[in-house]
Structure 1
């Protein structure tokens, strides 16, 4: 059978094509001397190189001595913003707490002011640069949130940017209720966000909604009120849950069948077990505690509770990284996750986004990452450099290292 391309590689490492819960995350498919047959942007077949080449003909592209994984899926990012906060890192290093930084004009409100002031072209240019960095680090699909506008005009502006951007990285947009604007209060801002849902749905500006359910931000009651309104209009749910305190965010995610609950540093065992029963993905963001000098999520406990875990960057001005490779290293060294579990997290991130990607399987989009490593156990182990040599999107090479 004639196909467009046959990619050959020293090792293929991929999760199974399903939601992977708990100990299942350790069971990946590894094929030495493998090949992937691609036609019309889809994976037609994969397996041992000699078997694939005996069944198919097409252009042969060989990656000798390298390992192929599915394209990375970054399922929690704050892509659109202006106003970086490098000065706050110096303040934190000198011992200042977040509330002190807020009083001095820093924190999220600083980024909100600069995002509101920025033109669409400026915001788009900055977001495109971040996407370029993501692509060369192996990411082929991102979830991207609004949330730094905090008013109708600038939240819509952020979502319009996400819709208008054309890039090799696929963008899945989320309307995020992120913080209470200085000029408003919790109830009034939730009312405004509920009122915005019709326009966002009619203009197809977001597929998901999200809310920062946390003490002194949005209560469980107001979060549920917003989510109920969003569900009625056909939005899918994600939630920032139990990052700083256990407020019952994990329980709310389970109650309303959210696709993902994210952060979860302080989530209760009860909430985590409820999530397990509903197959809700626990999206862990180790870059955030790394940036805040706080404890890391207890990934091993969550795996023992049979939760499906995804890993994401949480790219934002307070956690400024576009590299899921770095996140995998944090997961390995700080959360004691196995390299195989990091690889399986790619599929779980895709599952949380309702996308049939994140694995190498027949019929799946040919989104692939070739890494300059001898085997998959270098994931997490070899850190501090970009190990990606080639990125393939829909069967075409879209980035190569020099």
Structure 2
């Protein structure tokens, strides 16, 4: 048993109530101007004002004391939506969009997701693993201690399973909690052009059972969008996934309001992601159903689209999480500090609301809210030291990372 005492930190942490924080509670954060934490075997035993923590009897038996040197201390980021398991970047498509090409137009030409599918199918395991590990390592250095990674660049059973196995391997190798999500319904592969229902049959009858039997994923996701999978097809996929014991997520209403948010509410999915075009009525419905809205401002930034109405969503009581959407086409970033800044400056979240969105609510969006996302007794000691007085430094000092040190279960895993 190893017990560590972390002292002299400006601690900021969401206060967990057992569910994602929403509405007036979206910014529920506690602050200890001179705080301390006692950590035993990677879990937080005591946290609070340093003077009070030092009075606790457990702090008389310390193996190691660490001075946080007055830095701001926050929970490690939880990046709850990424597509970082890919091989090749799509920089040329970024230029095409700058020149006026539409996302769905690029997809129809065989670009977009389908170009990533080609390169992933052709790549050896070692290459796919190395690129994914590179992205996860970059995320770690930027403060991400827990991340979700989706499949979805295979679009055939063998390739989807291979992606999920590599994601699982990464979770065993990296000092991060990695949550795997099956996204076989990410796009319609060229083998099924004009026959989307036949592909849905493959996902439902072959892919999902194979994923579940091998225990390769915690969640199933689907891209519910015009020209991809409609609400009826998305329902079939998600209901099948639920019957096999998988949690549910949905890419909803990114480019058009096609009823994705309504479906999310009806199925009471864990999270609905993007939500740039969701109606206010459907946002209310998701709030009533307990769905977490995962907003991806770096993608809106990259595509020069209007941002999701985060401020209004908070007012309507929808719990908000934020994530990078790290992918090779429409949002190539591993930086949660960048996303934090965008959510404050371009989506109207307060500093405290953005902190909750990037930690605790994001943890609930991947089913880990009882384990990570806040610095509270019984949770993992996953935290960051920031070179600033408060989490505001993440938005204020733009274009750089203020992350000085990263700790996972009380162990240092990165220092700049």
- Band the TM-score falls in, shorter-chain normalisation: over 0.9
CA distance in 2, matches of 1:207, 1:99: 29
SS in 2 for 1:121: helix
Deviation at 1:370, TM superposition (A): 1.1
Number of residue equivalences = 400
1:139 match: 144
Moved more, 32-41 or 53-62: 53-62
SS in 1 for 2:69: strand
Matches within 5 A, 1:303-382: 303-318=314-329, 319-345=331-357, 346-355=359-368, 356=370, 357-382=372-397
Change in 2 beyond 3 A, CA 1:226/1:24 = same
In the alignment, is residue 163 of structure 1 matched against residue 176 of structure 2? no
Moved more, 192-201 or 334-343: 192-201
Contact 1:9 1:68 in 2 (8 A): no
1:174 match: 181
CA distance in 2, matches of 1:131, 1:102: 26
CA distance in 1, matches of 2:131, 2:79: 18
In the alignment, is residue 264 of structure 1 matched against residue 275 of structure 2? yes
CA distance in 2, matches of 1:104, 1:230: 30
CA distance in 1, matches of 2:214, 2:105: 40
In the alignment, is residue 190 of structure 1 matched against residue 205 of structure 2? no
Change in 2 beyond 3 A, CA 1:202/1:105 = closer
1:115 match: 120
2:8 match: 9
Deviation at 1:148, TM superposition (A): 0.5
Moved more, 68-77 or 80-89: 80-89
CA distance in 2, matches of 1:27, 1:54: 26
CA distance in 1, matches of 2:169, 2:390: 38
Change in 2 beyond 3 A, CA 1:210/1:104 = closer
Deviation at 1:93, TM superposition (A): 2.0
SS in 2 for 1:384: coil
Deviation at 1:109, TM superposition (A): 1.2
What CA RMSD, in Å, does the superposition of the two structures yield over aligned residues?
A: 1.3
Change in 2 beyond 3 A, CA 1:224/1:104 = closer
Deviation at 1:8, TM superposition (A): 1.6
Contact 2:13 2:374 in 1 (8 A): yes
Normalising by structure 2, we get a TM-score of 0.94
In the alignment, is residue 88 of structure 1 matched against residue 101 of structure 2? no
Deviation at 1:103, TM superposition (A): 5.5
Normalising by structure 1, we get a TM-score of 0.97
Matches within 5 A, 1:206-225: 206-225=217-236
Contact 1:329 1:380 in 2 (8 A): yes
Contact 2:6 2:37 in 1 (8 A): yes
**Structure 1, residues 242-283: CA drift from partner, whole Å, max 9, x if none?**
111111111111111100000001101111111111111000
In the alignment, is residue 397 of structure 1 matched against residue 412 of structure 2? yes
1:23 match: 24
CA distance in 2, matches of 1:222, 1:153: 22
**Structure 1, residues 126-175: CA drift from partner, whole Å, max 9, x if none?**
00000110101000011110000111111111011011221111110000
CA distance in 2, matches of 1:148, 1:219: 19
Contact 2:405 2:415 in 1 (8 A): yes
Change in 2 beyond 3 A, CA 1:249/1:102 = closer
Q: Which runs of 5+ in 2 are unaligned?
A: none
Contact 2:393 2:402 in 1 (8 A): no
CA distance in 2, matches of 1:89, 1:232: 39
